[in-house]
């Protein structure tokens, strides 16, 4: 699946949502409970961000493609004997992701985790905002406190 996400411009395909829903149903069967939308959003966060690491392919698709396109840019330019070439799909994704662009620059363009980080942070904010009761906030603080600090 990772290969397909990195090599095909499927970032806006409705089938990705369908795959996410199937993963959610599978997780609910494993846990023997129904997840609210907020619980599913939290579960889809990476473990170090307080989730279960059940990443949503709809969220990963653009990051995977953009990182792959950036890492192969010089090779494609050499093969085509051009210093500049146009990837229409990459341009569409960059336009759609322009709000999260300031965090991804220079040599970091080929690292998928750098493309993922703004989306993860946005989802974390939604989870925190959605937890207005003290018990839910305490649970999130406890999860966050037990996660090791990382550079990103």
Higher pLDDT, 142 or 150: 142
Domain locations along the chain: 2-145
Q: Is the pLDDT of residue 152 over 60?
A: no
Coil, strand or helix: which one is 150?
coil
Q: What are the CA-CA distances from residue 134 to residues 3, 38, 48, 127 (Å)?
A: 42, 16, 22, 14
Confidence (pLDDT) at 150:
53
Lowest mean pLDDT among 89-98, 99-108, 112-121, 125-134: 99-108
As given in the structure block, the two tokens for residue 52 are 């279960």
Instruction: Give all strands (DSSP E) within the chain, no chain letters.
Output: none
- Give the C-alpha distances (Å, rounded to integers) separating 38 from 125, 127, 132: 11, 6, 12
């Amino acid at each position: 699946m990772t290969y397909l996400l990195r090599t095909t411009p499927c970032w806006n395909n409705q089938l990705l949502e369908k795959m996410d829903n199937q993963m959610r149903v599978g997780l609910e069967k494993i846990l023997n409970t129904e997840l609210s939308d907020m619980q599913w959003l939290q579960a889809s966060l990476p473990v170090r961000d307080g989730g279960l690491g059940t990443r949503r392919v709809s969220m990963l698709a653009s990051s995977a493609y953009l990182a792959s396109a950036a890492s192969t840019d010089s090779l494609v330019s050499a093969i085509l004997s051009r210093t500049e070439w146009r990837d229409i799909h990459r341009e569409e994704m960059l336009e759609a992701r322009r709000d999260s662009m300031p965090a991804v620059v220079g040599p970091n363009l080929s690292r998928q985790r750098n493309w993922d980080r703004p989306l993860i942070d946005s989802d974390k904010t939604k989870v925190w905002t959605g937890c207005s009761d003290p018990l839910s906030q305490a649970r999130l603080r406890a999860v966050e406190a037990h996660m090791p600090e990382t550079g990103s």
